[in-house]
Structure 1
């Protein structure tokens, strides 16, 4: 099959002329993604629910890279709002090539202490919101008949049974299986669907669960010695959407600084080395 690299693409602007919508992109990881897409040449739609001023600021940053940027409010827990977001983004940009499902919600309580309303909100935003965005976005891409990319921002917590996060763990596990199934179903339309698993990323959302002092303290204990940055997740999304990556679909890109590696075991190795050295003295 012949390459589908567009004539306008270049190494510095691999997504030039493409059009992307990113859910939950006024803050945090979504902000990093939408800015990275703009840097790569894509026109973008920034979605927000309650942070309009931040969304407007992100749009201004994106326009600074010479692309068109639009801002649309939509609650990802509302299926009709998600459909409206996709329709309005497509109309505003004159088409759609890239869909990034990023918006999420989480509260952390043990299962037996959880409020059912919190569980429902987590599932409605993090699972159903992702599903409706992927479904609506995929329909637009299929109707256009020019292929495209869908990226689902999931989490290692879809695999790791993190206590206190049951609903979020459930939602992210569902995200992974949803994306892989969509990759199979959409391959004949030349629509690629991939997953990103961010590690512990430095975002405003983390301040909901940790103090600044605790975050910086724990970051030093990670394999890479720091929290991840949102721009690092953004570059991963650009890589997956780059036409040069057209043979990648149904896969998971983990960007976590090694957090899923058994790095804690290194402490045992180092302790054993110290004991052996002491015994030789």
Structure 2
């Protein structure tokens, strides 16, 4: 039944690459907890922004019998409930909660309440976000701040709350932020979005080295064009029918292709991936140099 909530690295390497133990002042070897910690599969997962698109695909991919998967939604309660139904169809227990990241500290409250409902938290995946389509010279400061508040501040608050819970539990954990290719490359008319995603990318890398000693890995997944409502398409759009000459694989991606990468990063098999940003874009970012010889107009200069 869907429940509703209303409101490793760290050791010392020898010359041959083997891991040794740290040593106490008395000379007795003490295992480094970050090295010896048992790696668990995620049993309790929070997906921020799970009402559609990539978030829904991630929630369903991480659902399995015996697991708890919590999803948040902002304006699309119906979508959030539908995701919860799919999670339960996969055999997991679903928890669905409203969350509006325009007040980013609400993310801390949401993570805490969902963790209480599930009996803890093993993985956090942030999929929500906002953007603006205006040139920097035309972008109102209030809109700039709104994008940074939702995208960057919201992730910080959710990450901090989840990390505190994971550290206290002593089981390690996984954090994955869905960013964008614009974590790595600019886009005209998306200055606030690019700044937020780039900021998340560096926050991921900082958190990765700070939290590794607790057995917590932090990574980003940077999608290119994915067939979701955010890109003006539907979650079930037949991506093979959409031709994209500017992408080497010549099509947009499917949200489930992003979810597959997140699933790996949240699993025991992904335990040695930390502080990375995995670009999943069909080769889009490799096309930059082609613009000089193949673009025939200045249309790109405007959003």
What TM-score bracket applies, with the shorter chain setting the length? 0.7 to 0.9
Q: What is the Cα-based RMSD across aligned positions, in Å?
A: 2.3
String of CA shifts for 1:205-236, please: whole Å, max 9, x gaps: 1129xxx9xxx766344211110111111110
Give the TM-score normalised by the residue count of structure 1.
0.84
String of CA shifts for 1:20-40, please: whole Å, max 9, x gaps: 101111011111111111158
String of CA shifts for 1:215-274, please: whole Å, max 9, x gaps: x766344211110111111110010111122111111111111111137639969xxxxx
Match of 1:11 in 2: none
Match of 1:62 among 79, 87, 101: 87
Match of 1:90 in 2: 115
Moved more, 114-123 or 39-48: 39-48
Match of 1:240 among 252, 265, 274: 265
Give the TM-score normalised by the residue count of structure 2.
0.78
Q: Distance in 2 between matches of 1:254 and 1:194?
A: 11
String of CA shifts for 1:158-215, please: whole Å, max 9, x gaps: 221211000001001100000000000001101011111111111101129xxx9xxx
Instruction: Check if 1:226 corresponds to 2:260.
Output: no
Matched-pair contact (CA < 8 Å) for 1:5–1:244: no
Q: Distance in 2 between matches of 1:263 and 1:158?
A: 15
Match of 1:4 in 2: 38
Aligned-partner SS, 1:171: helix
Q: Distance in 1 between matches of 2:167 and 2:222?
A: 26
Contiguous gaps of at least 5 residues in structure 1: 7-14, 270-281
Matched-pair contact (CA < 8 Å) for 1:41–1:65: no
Match of 1:135 in 2: 160
Match of 1:188 in 2: 213
Match of 2:56 among 31, 38, 41: 31
Q: Distance in 2 between matches of 1:221 and 1:167?
A: 24
Matched-pair contact (CA < 8 Å) for 1:20–1:99: yes
Contiguous gaps of at least 5 residues in structure 2: 1-34, 295-303
Runs of 4+ in 1 over 6 A off after TM superposition: none
Aligned residue pair count: 254
For 1:29-178, list aligned pairs within 5 A: 29-39=54-64, 42-178=67-203
